[in-house]
Amino acid sequence: MRKIAFLIPALLLAACSQPAPPAEPAADAPPPMTGSTPAEAAASTTPDPAAAPQAAAEHASETPAPAAAADEGDARARIDSVLGDAAQYEKVFNAFKTAVVGGDRAAVVEEVRFPLNIAGGKKITGPGEFQRNYEKIITPAVVKAMSGQEFSKVFVNQQGVMIGDGQVWLTGECLDKACARTEVKVGTIQ
């Protein structure tokens, strides 16, 4: 009986307590994302491009897909606002897609930045190693993702442009200290 007498006030206090309000964002925190689905938001906050498709898939079942598809201007606008120079991304996207779908190994290598991140957290250090492992890197899933992807429907976050469900990521790299000149290449294939 003593235990019950002791537990009742504790339970009543616990039931009446309010959760702490959310902390204010830091002064240097990025602005909140708007206009994205929970799947896009999960993928865009995932630090590892390899984990983005998994995060997006986990949230995809929670929210119905948007009715309206993004038009080509929207993809370019998203890239320009998040990454800058959408024309560079589109050029690399088109060249890489043509090379992969056409099976042109030399052209595929031209669009890749080394070291290249591949599945399993591994890296390919140069063109020779890439060519020796071509079939392991450019898998049927990668070819299917590339052939089925339209530039107007790419996913964009601060890490780059995602193709398919994360099979390929296009990323930009600064060529000078001010980042006035950049180079876009394929940085991840998985």
pLDDT digits (tens, 9 = 90+) for 131-177: 999 999 999 999 999 999 999 999 999 999 999 999 999 999 999 99
Residue 77 has pLDDT above 60, yes or no: yes
Under DSSP, the state recorded for 170 is E
Residue 34 has pLDDT above 70, yes or no: no
Dihedral of CA atoms 121, 97, 149, 158 in degrees, nearest 10, equals 50
Helices (H), 45-85: 52-60, 72-82
**pTM higher than 0.75, yes or no?**
no
Mean pLDDT, range 173-187, rounded to an integer = 93
Are β-strands 122-124 and 168-174 bridged in parallel, bridged antiparallel, or unpaired?
Answer: unpaired
